[in-house]
A = this chain, B = another copy of it.
Amino acid sequence: MYSEEGKFSIEVCFSPLSWPLHEKSGSVVIVTDVFRATTAMCAAFQNKVKSIIPVAEIAESIAWKEKGYIVSGEREGKTLDCADFGNSPFNFMEPRLQGKTVVMNTTNGTQALKMVKEGNNHVGIGAFTNRDAICNWAIDLQLPVIIFCAGWKNRFSLEDTLFAGAAVEYLLANNDYHTMCDSAIASYELWQRAKSDPLAYIEKAAHRHRLRKMGLDDILEYSLQLNTCKCVPVLHGHELIDLNV
């Protein structure tokens, strides 16, 4: 399962700090920030948002806002002054957003996206809610896959790693993939520990406690459900669009 040759490799990058070790052009990169950016992006596309412009700098958000765009964003879980709303997936379910472009600024997720934009890769957005859809997109491309965990302030994050493990599991079930990457193996193994009850399991995660402290833990149950949507958000120029539309 882990060592066969002549197959596409799977790697997991635990945080932006490790990205230079994993980066290689001509790969499929699935970026994940389960709490909360990439889950929110999937929620947005399920709600028929037209596109999302991910930005990393607050100055960029302000500039887009001044041009009349809808802007979401937060730092440390708090809505930015320039933003219309924060990054809870629930904020992206409002009917008024349908057909619109939203500019999203987040603490970790957008930073990771900015890093992968530089390379010559196919970049998709992964969350528990669209695991099968985004993995099937990756499989169709027939290339090595790197799952890029946004992490938390450059640190390893348990929830992002569990998603990575769920994606590794799905990809390894396909005969075209193998992995020799210890972090991919660890992700898979942690997911095996968690999958029977991810919500109870994630109670152990430090980020869970951070979210609770900030009163942002209402999205946990929603965020940990597998395959509640079929969207395939991918980076197209400077925007994310849903290939499933």
- Spell out A's residues near B (CB within 8 Å): 2-3, 14-15, 17-18, 21, 152-158, 161, 180-183, 185-186, 189-190, 192-193, 204-207, 209
Contact = CB atoms under 8 A, between A and B. Distances in A.
Contacts of A157: 182
Given A155-B182, A186-B186, A209 B161 contact: no
Given A14-B14, A189-B193, A209-B3, A158 B182 contact: yes
A213 to B, nearest CB: 11
16 contacts: A2-B204, A14-B156, A17-B21, A18-B155, A18-B156, A21-B153, A21-B154, A21-B155, A155-B182, A157-B182, A158-B182, A158-B185, A158-B186, A185-B204, A185-B206, A189-B193
A206 B182 contact: yes
Contacts of A154: 18, 21
Contact of A182 (B17, B182, B207): B207
Given A17-B18, A156-B14, A186 B182 contact: no
